[in-house]
Structure 1
Amino acid sequence: MKRIRLASYDSQKHDTGNKFQLVLSVMDLPEEVFVIILLKLSVRSIISCKCVCKTWLNLISSPQFFKLHMAQARTSLLFRDGDYYVAEPEDGRDLDFKYCWCETKCNRNYCCASCNIRMSSKLKCPMHKTRVMLSNQDDQYSNVSFDKYTRLINSCNGLVCLAESSDDGHGAIYNPTTGEFIILPQTLNNHENVTLFRVSGLGYNTKNNDYKVIRIVQRNDGSVEAEVHKVGTNSWKSVGSVPHSAVRLVFPTYLGGALHWAHDKYMKMATRSIISLDLDNDKFESHPMPPINGKETSVGVFGGCLCICGLHWKENLNYIDVWVMKKNGDWESWTKMFSIKVHDRFPVRGFGYYLPIYSSNGALLLYRITHRVLLYYDQGWTDVKHVHSRDFYGFQVICHTPTLISLRDIVTRENM
């Protein structure tokens, strides 16, 4: 390794003709100082540092460094607009991006130019024809390709869960930073007469340091069960029967070692609830919702806490109510944060899911599923602003934090 030398001279010694040179290298820095330097680099630069020497590789690959990095990592947005992009806040400014999807064709009164959102730092993710990294290369589904109709399910610790729109069980776990991805296995046990496989979310098991995918399986007779897959292995484990309405568990949110879904009254339930899957024990739990108005509800994260949004109709206007769980895990600590008035450009009375996908300093980005648009709201505003995409049918967006996790390392560890 070529050393970077830092020289220091004692001026008094130099004047008397006795010159001393203090020679240091990066390798001589205390580890805690070197870690601080690394944490200031971008994810891609840190990954490049793993190739310098074995010492750096071991340090950057350690669980301790990963935890430090995730604790200070900046949240990004992963977009799909015909292709895949990652957008990150620049210069420490929140919700301030410079790339605009609607820059070529849009009524400028409604595009990003009319508010403080600028989309930038565009990173094309190599989703098409990328080499599939799979622990079992003989799997009959190892050559599955993902096209523009692939759904973004969610992101957990920088790993992205993808699924085909056909709900046939095809899916993948992807790291946009490294370009690695793993096709989810299709190993089936006693799965005759199956009519639906719905990939429903990716989460992290803090107890055993592994990642899990949940999918819902429905058979011809109407029975429904849930299965869990540990990323890096080649099998699924049944975690038991679930209510038929579980096939509607969509738009997952990972927080605090569990996956959460809104379970609203359209799912033939007497009362609405929030369904959680504890990834330590693979157990489902049902929790009461706050007294939120609206028919379609969705969960997300606001200020590091679980939140829930609901749309309702009042005085000929749509309103989005946002409730936040002030103390995570305390289901009695729900607090109503605000009610957002929506002068809807797509006036459908009290209809549509609004997903809270990003928040910072009281500002909130919402993704409207039914019309594939982003809405931007800041506390104190009387209305929201709309942000549009060029590709209506392909547009999706989720919250995402770039990660150092290597899927190759996960596969290797799980198959040792």
Structure 2
Amino acid sequence: MEDLPVHVMIDILSRLPVKTIIHCKFVCKKWLDLISDSYFANLHLSRSPASLMLHHNPDNGMRAPRKVGILKWVEVKDELDHHHLHHDPVMTFDLDLAPIFQHSQILPVGSVNGLICLWQYGPKSDNTYICNPITREYMILPRQQYYREGYAMIIYCFGVGSLTQEYKVIRIFQGDIPPDPTSSSRPSIVEAEVYTLGTCQWRSLGHVPYLLNGWSGPFLNGNAHWIVLDRDSPEELCTFDFDKETFELFPSPPVEIIEESQMHFQSLAVLKGCLCQSDTFESQFTIWVMKEYGIKESWHREVIIKESISPDLDWVMWEPVYLTEGLKDGTILMIYYEDKLLAYSPKTRTIEDTKIFNRYFTGMGYRPSFLKLQKFESESVYVL
């Protein structure tokens, strides 16, 4: 292989499994240099397969968690007619090994191009980190401007501008300072700030025109997406453009109402490159898919899961269900509350528990990459 042209060697290496590529870095200095180059990282990312990144913390149910948890990469062996989920314990990112994460709580709030944004939260902590579990690097962002004591909801999204290719973290703070338990009006503070990786500073974006739902918004086509809580809003979704840094209303699917239902949970996700909205009622679970991005008429009710679909899983409608990934064979992976990773097959109209992990985990769609955090030269980068 040493006699092959460099571009051929890079092409071959970029097609290997991630774990094999990591081993190849130790074969010789030439291979290490090739794999460490940004061109290789971008080429590999363009071929990087769909997978999941789960944050598993068995201590999460305790009042005072002793551990932060582990980021576990779940590979999807995805064929046209079947799939297989594989978790290699070696390919984990143990957050407890980093002193800065210990004795706190961590929540993954976004992933783009193999990088993951982590939020460290608690009564006395409010910090943001970016990490790459494959290269085992992480960086600490400066402390945010809008940290407040008392009641608040913090909303995140991590993404990259379609035109500028700048990686940014958008963070929205909405709450009452001080909290007023008797007030039924909207929060008195709805402010946003943004951090561009490589600048070492948060910038205020001022007032946000919409009240948003959920702690994290999915990223797609250069935009963050959230559900709007304002009842009088003409649309029930809004976006944040990572290039323009502006908030806009976004076409939402038709309103679905089930009169006899006492509850209604909603969430957004990205499946196979399409924006999706899920609606959980007591009697059914609905998935809407936007076939053409930005076109209201392209919303299609793709899946309706009735309560009676599986007698063994009749509890599925009791708590929120979050979509995580869509596979080639049509299977949709979803997380029920923080307890189970479920797989729904539209072909057979069945839903099953994958039983891949025990309780207390969250997850998101993930594309492994070798993108190095050192590319953001002004940032302090650490290796776990």
Question: Which TM-score bucket, shorter chain as reference?
Answer: 0.7 to 0.9
Establish whether residue 188 from structure 1 lines up as the match of residue 145 from structure 2.
Answer: yes
CA contact (8 A) 2:93 2:136 kept: yes
Of the three residues 247, 254, 259, the one matched with 2:219 is 254
Q: Report what 1:403 is aligned to.
A: 369
Give the Cα–Cα distance (whole angstroms) in 1 for the partners of residues 316 and 87 of structure 2: 34
Q: Report what 1:289 is aligned to.
A: 252
Superposed, 1:14-413 pairs within 5 Å as 26=2, 28-46=3-21, 52-53=28-29, 57=33, 61-62=37-38, 64-82=39-57, 83-90=70-77, 96-97=83-84, 118-122=85-89, 123-130=91-98, 144-146=100-102, 149-166=105-122, 169-186=126-143, 188=145, 196=152, 198-218=154-174, 220=177, 222-243=188-209, 245-246=211-212, 248-263=213-228, 267-271=229-233, 273-293=236-256, 295-313=264-282, 318-343=283-308, 352-361=319-328, 362-369=330-337, 371-388=338-355, 391-392=358-359, 394-412=360-378
CA contact (8 A) 1:292 1:321 kept: no
Give the Cα–Cα distance (whole angstroms) in 1 for the partners of residues 97 and 36 of structure 2: 29
The structural deviation recorded for 1:54 is 6.7
1:32 to 1:321, Cα distance in 2 relative to 1, 3 A? same
**Letter paired with 2:291:** K
Give the Cα–Cα distance (whole angstroms) in 2 for the partners of residues 401 and 94 of structure 1: 21
1:146 to 1:270, Cα distance in 2 relative to 1, 3 A? farther
The structural deviation recorded for 1:165 is 4.2
The structural deviation recorded for 1:57 is 2.9
The structural deviation recorded for 1:96 is 3.9
**Letter paired with 1:251:** S
Deviations along 1:333-390, one digit per CA (max 9) or x if unpaired, are: 1112121124476867965332210111211011123x53222111133332124576
Q: Report what 1:18 is aligned to.
A: none
Q: Structure 1: 5+ residue runs without aligned partners? A: 5-25, 98-117, 131-142
Identity of aligned residues (%): 26
1:351 to 1:289, Cα distance in 2 relative to 1, 3 A? farther
1:387 to 1:29, Cα distance in 2 relative to 1, 3 A? closer
**Secondary structure at the counterpart of residue 10 of structure 2:** helix
Greater Rg over alpha carbons, structure: 1
The structural deviation recorded for 1:238 is 1.2
- TM-score with structure 2 length normalisation? 0.78
1:91 to 1:254, Cα distance in 2 relative to 1, 3 A? closer
Deviations along 1:50-84, one digit per CA (max 9) or x if unpaired, are: 6744797367523x544332221111111222232
Q: Report what 2:66 is aligned to.
A: none
**Letter paired with 1:400:** Y
CA contact (8 A) 1:205 1:257 kept: yes
CA contact (8 A) 1:277 1:284 kept: yes
CA contact (8 A) 1:277 1:285 kept: yes
Give the Cα–Cα distance (whole angstroms) in 1 for the partners of residues 298 and 120 of structure 2: 37
The structural deviation recorded for 1:209 is 2.4
1:354 to 1:58, Cα distance in 2 relative to 1, 3 A? same
**Secondary structure at the counterpart of residue 377 of structure 1:** strand
Give the Cα–Cα distance (whole angstroms) in 2 for the partners of residues 119 and 55 of structure 1: 27
Deviations along 1:374-416, one digit per CA (max 9) or x if unpaired, are: 2211113333212457653x3112111111111122244899x
Give the Cα–Cα distance (whole angstroms) in 1 for the partners of residues 31 and 354 of structure 2: 46
The structural deviation recorded for 1:176 is 0.6
CA contact (8 A) 1:296 1:351 kept: no
Give the Cα–Cα distance (whole angstroms) in 2 for the partners of residues 349 and 395 of structure 1: 16
1:58 to 1:194, Cα distance in 2 relative to 1, 3 A? farther
Give the Cα–Cα distance (whole angstroms) in 2 for the partners of residues 354 and 379 of structure 1: 17
Give the Cα–Cα distance (whole angstroms) in 2 for the partners of residues 70 and 319 of structure 1: 37
The structural deviation recorded for 1:119 is 4.1
Give the Cα–Cα distance (whole angstroms) in 1 for the partners of residues 210 and 275 of structure 2: 25
More strand by proportion, 1 or 2? 2
The structural deviation recorded for 1:174 is 1.2
**Letter paired with 1:224:** V
Give the Cα–Cα distance (whole angstroms) in 2 for the partners of residues 120 and 171 of structure 1: 27
Q: Structure 2: 5+ residue runs without aligned partners? A: 58-69, 179-187, 258-263
The structural deviation recorded for 1:47 is 5.4
